[in-house]
Amino acid sequence: MTVSGVTDSTSIRVEIERIASKYKASEHCFFSRLGQADSDHIRKPDVLGELLLRYQAAMHSTRAMAYCLPMLDSPALRKRKLRILVDDDGLEGGDTHHYQLTRAFEKLGAELKIDDEAYGDLDTLQSKVDGKTAKFISAVRDMYLRSLGAWAIAEVMSDDWLHALADGLEKHFPKIVDEPYFAECFNGHVEERHGLEALELAEMVCAGRPELAERTISDAKEMAQKLNHLWDSLLEVVEPN
């Protein structure tokens, strides 16, 4: 099977990396305009709260659906997936990336729109966010059940967008990069490791089931496009009409 030049499992990595480069998050205008925006606007509790809600809701959907990833069902593959899940949800003392992000924004003065524990059922969460973020959540819910493509490219792209987000916020909040949500990821290169691991797992699965190559690449491309739409949503908060 040939899919956009993909003829074997090793080409899965090349194609996902190519898509990630084409849709590189840090090149989206949201991140540069976040840094260039008027600080008085960005520091408004309501603005910070809306940025948190949209971004946190989107990230929650990817974390929740990671538990449902298909094909990673052998003991060895479950073990490898679990290591990534633990990095997100099994931090020391019961901490998680979700809680870390909320704490960081609370310190900045954000007005919390919903409680942390309200980030649960994805159908319910969709009703609490704007249309673009709701569509992102819906797409994640579908794609993460079909293949490893959407998950793999999100893991590959996350280090780039986390650095871009930190850079944009740092213009208004110089100490934001010291917050555990960013500092622990950057210092430990967590997201880079996750990206490499996700690519390898996608390769392994497609090597054993080459009929999944087309869907894997298709979902990777769709996820990259949906992330672009998510940044569009966040841009609306930074630059309201």
* 54 contacts 233 by C-beta, under 8 angstroms: yes
Give the integer Cα–Cα distance in Å for 183 and 189.
10
Which listed CATH number (1.20.910.10, 3.40.50.1010, 3.40.50.300, 2.40.30.10) goes with 9-238?
A: 1.20.910.10
- Helix 149-170 × helix 131-143 angle, to 10°: 150
**For residue 69, which of 8, 3, 151 has the smallest C-alpha distance?**
151
φ, ψ dihedrals at 3, nearest 5° = -125, 105
Q: Quote the longest CA-to-CA distance of the chain.
A: 55
Which DSSP symbol is given to 173?
-
For residue 3, the cross-strand partners are 6
Which pTM does this prediction carry? 0.93
For residue 6, the cross-strand partners are 3
Q: What six digits make up the tokens of 203?
A: 């390769």
Place of tokens 């990095």: 87
Supply the pLDDT for residue 1. Answer: 37
Q: What six digits make up the tokens of 26?
A: 């840090």
Tell me the pLDDT of the chain (241 aa) as tens digits: 344 445 455 589 999 999 999 999 999 999 999 999 999 999 999 999 999 999 999 999 999 999 999 889 899 999 999 999 998 888 888 899 999 999 999 999 999 999 999 999 999 999 999 999 999 999 999 999 999 999 999 999 999 999 999 999 999 999 999 999 999 889 889 999 999 999 999 999 999 999 999 999 999 999 999 999 999 999 999 997 6
Q: Which amino acid is it at 96?
A: T
Q: What six digits make up the tokens of 81?
A: 């997936």
CA angle 52, 198, 96 (to 5 degrees): 35
Could you state, in order of their start, the residue ranges of all structural domains in the chain?
9-238
Helix (H) or strand (E) holding 82: helix 75-89
